[in-house]
């Protein structure tokens, strides 16, 4: 059970509520640590993340929530809990690392494995892309995936990111080096896709 208290972590509340056809992206709550731990401890999810250890404990989940709170309080990140808009069922998390001086962001996401293959991740990513370029007026959005992660590759391509290249042995994960695939989207590219009805 989560030992944190919402009132201790006011930075989390800085994330604006975002909505799409099926989803609600709301600020992370400390009570989400239980769902975060359960979802990320699933090896199917953890194996596709870049730095998260396995097993993933409640202490790790609470530490992550505290780190997000700190980053949001200081303007270096913004994270949401992904929920079903009607039922508020927990689906996953999505967030941004913010590089203010570069007018750029990097997007991160994961979905509970029991909710895969329903289009939730693509829908959430597209909603955050809209927020990045329309509300935050960001110049460049960056995203990566590990080379073997075909589902993430499909999501990135569906959203219209441009492939930039392969980072050879760009990540060491569970004792093994892996290639990392890098993509980006510029604000003018997003606006062109929106004009053509893709957003």
Which pLDDT value is given to residue 5? 52
Instruction: State pLDDT tens for residues 113-132.
Output: 999 999 999 999 999 999 99
Calpha distance 116→113 (Å, rounded) = 5
E strands, the chain, are 18-19, 23-27, 77-84, 90-99, 104-111, 140-146, 162-173, 176-186
Calpha distance 35→42 (Å, rounded) = 11
* Topology given in CATH for the domain delimited by 9-195: Aminopeptidase (3.40.630)
For β-strands 140-146 and 104-111, DSSP reports them as parallel
Sign of CA dihedral 38, 39, 45, 51: negative
pTM of the model: 0.94
Average model confidence (pLDDT) across the chain: 95
């Amino acid at each position: 059970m989560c030992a944190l208290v919402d009132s201790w972590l006011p930075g989390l509340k800085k994330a604006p509520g975002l909505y799409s056809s099926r989803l609600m992206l709301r600020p992370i709550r400390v009570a989400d640590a239980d769902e975060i731990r359960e979802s990320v401890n699933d090896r199917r999810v953890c194996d596709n993340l870049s730095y998260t250890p396995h097993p993933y404990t409640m202490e790790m989940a609470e530490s992550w929530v505290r780190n997000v709170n700190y980053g949001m309080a200081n303007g270096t990140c913004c994270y949401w809990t992904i929920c079903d808009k009607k039922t508020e069922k927990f689906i996953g998390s999505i967030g941004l690392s913010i590089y203010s001086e570069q007018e750029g962001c990097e997007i991160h996401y994961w979905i509970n494995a029991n909710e895969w293959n329903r289009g939730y991740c693509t829908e959430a990513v597209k909603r955050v892309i809209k927020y990045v370029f329309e509300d935050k007026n960001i110049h460049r959005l960056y995203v990566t995936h590990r080379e073997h992660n075909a589902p993430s590759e499909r999501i990135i391509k569906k959203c219209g990111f441009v492939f930039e290249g392969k980072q050879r042995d760009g990540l060491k994960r569970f004792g093994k080096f892996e290639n990392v695939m890098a993509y980006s989207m510029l604000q003018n590219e997003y606006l062109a896709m929106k004009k053509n009805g893709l957003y």
